[in-house]
Structure 1
Amino acid sequence: MASDVQDPAPNPHATEEQVQAAWDDPKLANVLYHDWEAGTYDEKWSISYDERCIEYATGRFRAVAGDRGWPYGRALELGSGTGFFLLNLMQGGVAKQGSVTDLSPGMVQVALRNAENLGLDVDGRVADAERIPYDDNTFDLVVGHAVLHHIPDVQAALAEVLRVLKPGGRFVFAGEPTKIGDFYARKLGQLTWWLTTNLTRLEPLNSWRRPQEELDESSRAAALEAVVDIHTFDPADLERTARAAGARNVKAVTEELSAALFGWPVRTFEAAVPREKLGWGWAMFAYKGWQRLSWLDENVLSKVMPRELFYNVLVTGTKPGGV
């Protein structure tokens, strides 16, 4: 049963003192950064709750865990953000009932609003992944997307995941950066940002330059991101961490190589120019390009390239016991 303690309110406008303190406190940095981003997060990352993202979420789940056991009865999303992963998995038939948790009150608020708008049976709590506020043996499934790399003690969080899972229950975490993938993605992002912000200073391209105050704000956000992104992962090391936490049937797979080399410059360019300059045609180019390259990665490159070279790692495992 969830705790009756009142959750804190979102704080989208942190003070300078709070921001300074966050540089030495990754958990506070995560709260401030994600509260600030909560209202625009879905738009920034092109998150939707339609067939496009339902297919993406269920595809990630199936890639590492298969499709046996669907639908799970009750599922928890750890570090849910706006609910992207769990809500789309529920719409795709993976789970019937859900709970969302995040350190950021703003993110939990948006996730619950999204769930209500979709008519999904979801509750939520502001929660530390290392101290999940639910009883032992509560959930059939625990999921997360791009969350483990924000958690200071990943093994402790996975031990908590196993505690709240029912015997035989499964966890699936997707969207985690590999060590090598994170290196080339960041370098590509930095180069794209530098090129775009400098080229748009030129008079013929000046209408493509975002206002300076928006660029400054984006730069501050990028700086704080250096605090909230704590880990990158080697797939084999992540498997060992999950086993050390007590998981069984552990498996990690990787995805996105050519898709990441394409996607990171695209996302960075989108952040550096005015939104109104990029219409539906650009959105389709970006999505279709990523989709085609993801097919190449999955069906060709994954068969010949070491898994460590791919950008994303996904991991699954089960709690001992059960049928």
Structure 2
Amino acid sequence: MASDPAPNPHATAEEVEAAWQDPKLANVLYHDWEAGTYDEKWSISYDERCIEYATGRFDSVAGKDGWPYETALELGCGTGFFLLNLMQGGVIKKGSVTDLSPGMVQVALHNAKNLGLDVDGRVADAERIPYDDDSFDLVVGHAVLHHIPDLPTAFREVLRVLKPGGRFVFAGEPTKIGNTYARKLGQLTWWLTTNVTKLPALSSWRRPQEELDESSRAAALEAVVDLHTFDPTELEQLVRDAGGVNVRAKTEELAAALFGWPVRTFEAAVPQEKLTFGWRMFAYRAWQRLSWVDENILRGIAPRELFYNVMITGTKP
């Protein structure tokens, strides 16, 4: 078996230029560049906070039947956030991680080793999953579907590697309407923060210009790597057409997203040392409370298309 390619966290200008015409190359370069700081950027951890979040998302859309799954594969694993926290939460016994980015696979395996979890990994294209038919009891992914160019092919591959009756669960995908207001809020927050911190009295809150420039370039590349937004009903039909059964989509985060996106953007625009433990706990607790409002109040009165995240589950016949 050929060895996996090495991470490339410092792409050349020529590679970046080529990536604008090649979404898969863009995903590799962008995520290799982000791999070492991704957990910090998105406040990812492998403690009770994120274990509760990951298992809560899974339970919300798929329920607890089948726990623990003996074997699971994660597509587009990133740093391992979803699979590793599901394993710690008792959902999965043994895991495999795949990602198009060598850097992300490397970090995910490092995180798994530090946590003492039974995980192997491969650099892999979701449209050509390098595992045999009927290999896994569960396939999961978090914030990955919107990066995959050919989703019908990817879902046929997911169903191929699942055992008969096996389940898939994907979460953290942007809806069409949610993505629109999230990006507008992010752009406004970035503009306000980077301009207000030019004032002399707030200069200590301004990140060095070279860091701001680098973040801006990364944000620009997101226009290439973020390929899809989703209507929940259309996503359900796409999965059924690929061969999935018992398919169900669920959306979440409306008030929580309206709060969360400005907060995440603000955190990316200021020096990390300004983001104290107290600030992070405030942001997390506020997000929790607003998520409760979404689940217990807004879900009953707002169309599901208005929520920011869509999750989808189903099984192989």
TM-score normalized by the length of structure 2? 1.00
What 5-or-longer segments of structure 2 have no aligned partner? none
Q: Distance in 2 between matches of 1:147 and 1:278?
A: 27
The residue that corresponds to 1:174 in the other structure is 171
Q: 98, 101, 104: which one pairs with 2:98?
A: 101
The alignment status of 1:227 with 2:224, answered yes or no, reads yes
Instruction: Report 1:33-44 matches (<5 A).
Output: 33-44=30-41
Give the Cα separation in 2 of the matches to 1:46 and 1:192: 18
Q: Among 44, 49, 53, which residue is 1:47 paired with?
A: 44
Q: Which residue of 2 aligns with 1:144?
A: 141
Shift of residue 302 of structure 1?
Answer: 0.6
Deviation at 1:207, TM superposition (A): 1.3
Mind listing any 5+ residue stretches in structure 1 that lack a counterpart?
none
Distance 2:119 2:275 in 1: 34
What is the aligned partner in structure 1 of residue 239 from structure 2?
Answer: 242
Aligned to 1:160: 157
Counterpart residue number, 1:32: 29
Indicate yes or no: 2:224 matched with 1:254: no
Instruction: Give the superposed CA RMSD.
Output: 0.5
Q: Give the aligned residue type for 1:121.
A: D
Deviations 1:188-247 (A, max 9, x none): 000000000011111111111110000000000000011000000000000000001000
Aligned-pair CA distance for 1:5: 2.0
Q: CA–CA distance in 2 between the matches of 1:312 and 1:298?
A: 12
Instruction: Name the counterpart of 1:131.
Output: 128
* 2-structure distance, mates of 1:156, 1:299: 36
Q: Kindly state the Cα deviation for residue 136 of structure 1 after the two structures are TM-superposed.
A: 0.2
- Which one of 50, 61, 72 corresponds to residue 75 of structure 1? 72
**Whole-Å separation in 2 of the counterparts to 1:262 and 1:112:** 32
1:7 to 1, 4, 7: 4
**C-alpha separation between the residues in 1 aligned to 2:138 and 2:277?**
36
Distance in 2 (alpha carbons) for counterparts of 1:94 and 1:303: 29
More deviation, 278-287/305-314: 278-287
Deviations 1:6-42 (A, max 9, x none): 1000000000000000000000000000000000101
TM-score (norm 1): 0.98
Percent of residue pairs bearing the same amino acid type: 82
Q: Distance in 1 between matches of 2:143 and 2:61?
A: 15
1:263 is aligned to 260
Q: Letter of the aligned partner of 1:12 in structure 2? A: P
Aligned residue-pair number: 317
The residue type paired with residue 312 of structure 1 is N
